[in-house]
Structure 1
């Protein structure tokens, strides 16, 4: 038997319903107050921080500032330093990405090796490729200078003419061979091999993208602030023209410091294009970094000349550079052109592939860099 003092109190049904109604009303009132307060907060926050414009606002701002500075026909150091130079480099990169025809002359020097007699051997390759990203038509020629024992021993020339590959060799001390069909490269003048797509531009850029696709690629690269940094930018003169000389460093990022040059490929993939069919290819190992110097025409925001050097991967735990393995280091210098049409080549001369810019010291592969 339950003690009277512990008998539960009964509440009439009417009073129970009334309490429920009152509580429901209070809850509705409180929720409305909270919603109103949150809306007021959101309105205030939106007013204090407007929505970001479409595309990369930093690139847009840098481009606008540059155009304003060039209104009098030239650029000063003070005007350049008033612009975020990393934004400005990305603005140049974005501009090139949209050019339908991209031409480049690349020079790559293979590391010194030694033959069985101990003589030093080296090869200097110059490849000139002008590629139309819309039609996939191209003009292509190459010169390879082979050195043995420090002396030039052989000059190899390859040239695409009429959809066929021709070659001419000159062995030191012997007469130059006339042009003849190159049966070993019969198909490299009708369709650019996928593995050669890196000769388009400078091994990280390409052309032919729409403005939206260029924004996607640039935006993807910029998701990691530490991935690409402009170490220096200054005005220089080459010949009679003014250029902006950028010193840029690409540093591996990610949880294990393993997202290096491979981020360029991932950023291109975000455009929805197939890199194999487009084609697009970047040099370097995915987990390695880059250091490069590039000269940009401020009037067009297009690059004129660059020099690249790879940097080793970073240790996953300490973030320090690993040792550069033997034969792993590579260096590349590039001259650019952006013609309105592709000029077909012929076999009327035996001229080597020329370069108009003189080489300067490459950025160091490891250690500190003070450009």
Structure 2
């Protein structure tokens, strides 16, 4: 199995051999969707394209028992990529339910960056920070942290973790069976800090389901989760988009593990524009943090935004 996975990693990179393999700080050139094949242990052919690799990465993500994330979320295009935004540091262990959730509303005005408010989960209590000074710097607001709304930040807003192989197949299989929903874009290779990655471009398009009605977009991820037969309130699971939205996803994959390391998800449709940037880390325990004495620090992603010159 280890030999096969190494061979698959090579094949993934070979699949994009017509694209630039660049160093850190250089933007990879996007390619047309490319097919490649890698013989399996039984001599069968395994097709590799952007869509299939995206679904495979969702499955591998779903099988992970814990996850640590850093998020940036932009609600208006004029602020992207370095303006006002939500910044979230989160971690979740699906076995123990240990949680880390630190969310801040960052404001950039007149060249100055500050935190308007922040929430901090310590155990199951939630502390709030306000920069206005109207209230004390930190105060307890809840003993049920994270809130139902904030559970969305415990994963990347589309994927999930902590599933069995059967549950992961059900979740990803439903999404893969939806004709025209998940569509392949470009696939290219890139090297960052000496390590190769595969860069995927995926377009999620609203589709009409049997019976008619309005096309359904991101909401279908929630429908897919239902096939795991888990309770989304206790597992937990939530998607971060409007139900009918289209999504443009750029996702960087480790070719050896087929897990995501960085992604950008642009939500559009009906006048909506929202950008969600995420860095992933798997295999590390969920670490606890201490409540800052005053204003919370502003977390930074190490990957540069796609729209910024010099991005990966």
- Do they superpose with TM above 0.5? yes
Larger radius of gyration: 1
Q: Distance in 2 between matches of 1:103 and 1:90?
A: 20
Give structure 1 stretches of 5+ with no counterpart: 1-62, 114-121, 313-323, 363-371
What is the rounded CA distance, in whole Å, between the counterparts of 2:245 and 2:65 in structure 1?
A: 29
Q: Is 1:146 aligned to residue 107 of structure 2? A: yes
Match of 1:360 among 299, 306, 312: 306
What do you get for the CA RMSD once the two structures are aligned? 3.1
The alignment partner of 1:182 has SS state of strand
Q: Which residue of 1 aligns with 2:179?
A: 225
Equivalent pair of 1:258/1:286 in contact (CA under 8 Å): no
1:204 paired to 2:151 = no
Structure with greater helix percent: 1
Consecutive unaligned residues of structure 2, counting only runs of 5 or more, are: 19-33, 37-47
Q: Does 1:85 align with 2:50?
A: yes
Question: SS where residue 279 of structure 2 aligns?
Answer: strand
In the alignment, which residue of structure 2 is the partner of 1:68? 7
The 8 Å contact of residues 187 and 198 in structure 2, kept in 1 or not, is answered as yes
Mapped contact 1:308–1:332 kept (Cα < 8 A)? yes
The answer to whether the 8 A contact 2:182-2:202 is kept is: yes
Cα deviations across residues 291-349 of structure 1 (Å, max 9, x unaligned)? 1101111111110111111121xxxxxxxxxxx33xx3211111111133221112478
* Structure 2 length-normalised TM: 0.76
Matched position secondary structure for 2:84: strand
Aligned to 1:46: none
SS in 2 for 1:310: strand
The alpha-carbon deviation at position 277 of structure 1 amounts to 2.4
Distance 1:342 1:258, change over 3 A: same
**Any conservation in 2 of the 1:198–1:280 contact (CA below 8 Å)?**
yes
**Could you tell me which residue of structure 1 aligns to residue 143 of structure 2?**
187
More strand by share: 2
Question: CA separation in 1, counterparts of 2:172 and 2:307?
Answer: 29
What is the CA–CA distance in structure 1 between the aligned matches of 2:242 and 2:117, rounded to whole Å? 28
- Which residue matches 1:330? 274
How many equivalent pairs are there? 270
TM-score (ref. length: structure 1): 0.65
Which residue of the partner structure matches residue 268 of structure 1? Answer: 225
Question: CA distance change for structure 1 residues 71 and 291 in 2, over 3 Å: closer, same or farther?
Answer: closer
Q: 1:209 Cα deviation (Å)? A: 0.6
2:59 equivalent in structure 1: 94
- 1:257 is displaced (CA, Å) by 5.2
1:277 aligned to 2:221?
no
Which structure has more relative contact order (CA 8 Å, sep 6+)? It is 2
Establish whether residue 301 from structure 1 lines up as the match of residue 258 from structure 2: yes
Q: Distance in 2 between matches of 1:153 and 1:199?
A: 21
- Residue 290 of structure 1 deviates from its aligned partner by 0.7
Q: Which piece of structure 1 moves more, 285-294 or 252-261?
A: 252-261
**Cα gap change, 1:237 to 1:81, in 2 (>3 Å):** farther
Residue pair 1:157, 1:352 contacting (<8 A) in 2 also: no
- Farther-moved stretch of structure 1 (272-281 vs 77-86): 77-86
Alignment partners' CA distance in 1, 2:69 and 2:231: 22
Kindly report which structure 2 residues correspond to 1:110-129, keeping only aligned pairs within 5 A, or say none: 110-111=75-76, 123-129=84-90
